[in-house]
Amino acid sequence: MFRVRNRTELETRNTKQINKMEKPYVIGMDMGGTNTVFGIVDARGNVISKSAIKTNTHDDVNLYINDLHVEMSKLIDAAGGIDKIKGIGVGAPNGNYYTGNIEFAPNLPWKGVIPFAKLMTEKFGVPAALTNDANAAAFGEMTYGAAHGMKNFIMITLGTGVGSGIIIDGKVVYGHDGFAGELGHVNVMRNNGRLCGCGRSGCLEAYASATGVARSAREILESSNKASLLRNIPIDSITSKDVFDAAMEGDEVGKEIFNFTGRILGEAFSDFVAFSAPEAIVLFGGLSKAGDMILNPIIENMEKNILPIWKGKVKVLFSDLKEADAAVLGASALAWEL
| Total number of domains in the chain | 2
Are both 101 and 215 inside the same structural domain?
no
Query: Residue 1 — pLDDT band, cuts 50, 70, 90?
Result: very low
Contact call for residues 337 and 131 (beta carbons, < 8 A): no
**Does the pLDDT at position 10 exceed 50?**
no
pLDDT value, residue 3: 41
pLDDT, one tens digit per residue, over 134-191 is 899 898 999 999 999 999 999 999 988 899 999 999 999 999 999 999 999 999 999 9
CATH number at residue 184: 3.30.420.40
| 98 plus 133 within the same structural domain | yes
Say whether both 261 and 137 belong to one domain: no
Tell me: pLDDT of 80 over 80: yes
Does residue 229 share a domain with residue 105?
no
Question: 230 with 195, same domain?
Answer: yes
**pTM of the predicted structure, to 2 decimals:** 0.86
Shared domain check, 240 and 264: yes
Residues 235 and 97 in one domain: no
Give residue-wise pLDDT tens across range 195-236.
998 889 999 999 999 999 999 999 999 999 999 999 999 999
Burial class (CB in 10 A: 0-12, 13-18, 19+), 99: middle
What mean pLDDT value characterizes the chain? 92
Per-residue pLDDT tens over the stretch 303-316: 999 999 999 999 99
- pLDDT computed for residue 326 by the predictor: 86
Please choose, from the candidates 116, 115, 109, the residue with its C-alpha nearest in 3D space to the C-alpha of residue 90: 116
Residues 203 and 65 placed together within one structural domain of the fold: no
Query: What would the pLDDT profile of 226-240 be if each residue is shown by its tens digit?
Result: 999 999 999 999 999
Q: Are residues 127 and 161 in the same domain?
A: no
Other CB atoms within a 10 A radius of the CB of residue 43 amount to 17
Rounded to an integer, the average pLDDT of 65-86 is 97
Residues 175, 301, single domain; the answer is yes
Helix 210-223 to helix 252-276 angle, to the nearest 10 degrees?
Answer: 130
Q: Strand 25-31's sheet: what is its strand order?
A: 47-54, 35-42, 25-31, 85-91, 128-131
Range of the domain at 98: 2-141+325-335
Nearest-angstrom CA–CA distance, 335 and 117: 11
Same domain? 116 vs 232: no
How much is the pLDDT for 105? 87
Q: Are residues 98 and 172 in the same domain?
A: no
- pLDDT exceeds cutoff 70 at 8: no
